[in-house]
Amino acid sequence: MSEDLHALQRRLAEFAAARDWQQYHTPKNLAAALSVEAAELVEIFQWLTPEESATVMSDPRKAGRVEDEVADVLAYLLQFCEALGIDALTALAAKIDRNETRFPAVRSARPDRPREGGEE
């Protein structure tokens, strides 16, 4: 990655401060904005077949839309973490640790039956 998360959080904070937007960046507002941007990402894939969704990045127009929405989701998530003092990478590492305990690796899955469980 070209910039670390903390540098990106600083850039986002400076961007918001330069426009006097910090007053609107409450946890509630940021969570709502994050949800809206995630929904916009889902919308791109809404009616695609699984095969079409797997190749969406081969269409430059769609790829640009996906990248923009991913950027919006990440920007709001980083601002949300900043507002609440959450270190996103530490939180993610802890969640992975918990999931490794909750969902032990399966040595061999039977191809005729899906695995139970999943990430939460």
For residue 107, is pLDDT > 80?
Answer: no
Confidence band, pLDDT 50/70/90 cuts, at residue 117: low
Q: Is the pLDDT of residue 61 over 90?
A: yes
Token pair, residue 31, equals: 């969570």
CATH of the domain at 65: 1.10.287.1080
Q: Is residue 12 part of a domain?
A: no
How many distinct structural domains can be found in the chain? 1
pTM, full prediction: 0.82
User: Does residue 40 form part of some domain?
Assistant: yes
Structural domain includes residue 109: no
| pLDDT tens for each residue of 69-104 | 999 999 999 999 999 999 999 999 999 999 999 999
Helix/strand/coil for 24: helix
Answer yes or no: is pLDDT of 1 > 60: no
Helix (H, G, I), strand (E, B) or coil at 48: coil
Instruction: Give ∠ CA 97-98-102 in degrees, rounded to 5.
Output: 120
Q: Residue 74, class by beta-carbon neighbours within 10 Å (0-12 exposed, 13-18 middle, 19+ buried)?
A: middle
Which residue range(s) make up the domain with 88?
26-101
Answer whether residue 4 is part of any domain: no
